[in-house]
Amino acid sequence: EAAEKAGFEHFMMKEIHEQPKVVQDTLNSVLKDGRIDLAEVGLAEDEIKDISQIYIVACGSAYHVGMAAQYVIEDMARIPVRVELASEFRYRNPILDPHALAIVISQSGETADSLAALRLCKDHGIRTLAIVNVVGSSIAREADNVFYTLAGPEISVATTKAYSTQMMASYVLAIQFALVREQITEEQYTGYIKELQTLPEKIQRIIDDKERIQWFASKQANAHDTFFVGRGIDYAISMEGSLKMKEVSYIHSEAYAAGELKHGTISLIEDGTLVIGVLTQPDLYEKTVSNMVECKSRGAYLMGMTTFGNYNIEDTADFTVYIPKTDPYFATSLAVIPLQLLGYYVSVAKGLDVDKPRNLAKSVTVE
Ligand code: G6P
């Protein structure tokens, strides 16, 4: 096992470090002469033009990928998107549009509820596209189209690199859909692809700075509650950050759409409660900062994560994390990295079994 960990203390840390490479590999697998080529996935242009709406169905972190993808696809390609938890979707007799595309996202390709949701869509005659990591898995075999993520085997129960490759697959689909449906110009198209190509190096830069997160994490080991807040894509990032925190560190954690704070959660803020604000979206920055100020005035201890350049966050936050600049559409891929590191380091500081958290399984094949 020590050899498999390649010098890292845990699989989770090894897999965090693999992200630049696997994100690059996943992107390269669908690029041909600098353009997106979905021939292997099997989606033709006229089929993309015919999509009336998209249902993204998944569980766990894959569902959080869907949440972030929803914002990107709707805004960039102007196709209506609904994101659904597979375990809810399948039991509520959904009204399905035969011209819709169902996208099922799954690392293992074996999650029982996701597989059942896929079958339900197929029974309704809806075209299905799976974003899957494990070749030949049940979901990969049964879906009409498959976009393979090239994360390689993921051992740590808490996903990191599979999530990042699923995000990359989602961006590629959004950009291609947007071009085919004439929602973006040729110039925007090549600009977005160029930006995607910078993500691996930017992810690497964040990982290289991990000691700063380690230091902060060591001070949070005794925390009882954490709240992650953000709006739009930053809310989707918050959901994944919060899940990482609770699954490996056993600290109670919730993600909140920042605007919802005052509808309940703010009553839970006490002296020293850790509130993490995610602020990667320029047009939502001020709004979320004002929500953080409200938390602070009730005693919260604030961490703020934003893009380099937004240094005035230091007027509000007690601890700040900066991520490299990118197009706001793609910020999820960068912002998730410090949050993975935070969950990891808090878990290690508490002496927990970070790769195999209690009560959790890597692949959930029961319903
Ligand atoms: C389990 C794993 C999660 C994963 C979820 C969905 O809960 O611990 O990391 O996100 O299942 O799994 P899938 O294989 O369908 O992506």
| Mean pLDDT of successive 10-residue stretches along the chain, which has 367 residues | 86 97 98 96 95 98 98 98 96 94 97 97 97 97 98 95 98 98 98 98 98 96 94 98 95 94 85 96 96 94 97 96 98 98 96 90 84
Q: In testing the pocket of ligand 1, which one of 90, 111, 239, 340 has its CB within 8 Å of the most ligand atoms?
A: 111
Alpha-carbon distance of 69 to 75, in angstroms, equals 10
Distance (Å) from CA 192 to ligand 1 centroid: 29
Alpha-carbon distance of 158 to 100, in angstroms, equals 31
Alpha-carbon distance of 92 to 200, in angstroms, equals 40
Which residue, chain included where needed, has tokens 């697959």?
169
Using an 8 Å Cβ cutoff, are 165 and 133 in contact?
Answer: yes
Q: What angle do CA 153, 159, 161 make, to 5 degrees?
A: 60
- Ligand 1 atom closest to the Cα of residue 360 is 8
Alpha-carbon distance of 227 to 138, in angstroms, equals 36
Instruction: List, in sequence order, every residue forming a beta bridge with 102; answer none if it has no partner.
Output: 55, 128
Residue 98 one-letter amino acid: P
Closest to 338 (Cα-Cα) out of 298, 296, 308:
308
Q: Tell me, yes or no, if 21 is annotated catalytic.
A: no
What are the pocket residues of ligand 1 if the criterion is a CB atom closer than 6 Å to any ligand atom? Answer: 59-62, 106-108, 111, 114, 157-159, 360, 362-364
Question: What pLDDT digit, counting tens, does each position of 226-271 carry?
Answer: 999 999 999 999 999 999 999 999 999 999 999 988 888 888 899 9
Kindly report the pTM of this predicted structure: 0.96
Q: What angle do CA 48, 53, 57 make, to 5 degrees?
A: 105
Q: What is the token pair recorded at 162?
A: 């599979």
Alpha-carbon distance of 142 to 90, in angstroms, equals 16
For ligand 1, atom 8, the nearest C-alpha belongs to 362
Which residue, chain included where needed, has tokens 């959660």?
265
- The radius of gyration computed from the CA coordinates of the chain, to the nearest angstrom, equals 20
Predicted complex ipTM exceeds 0.90: yes
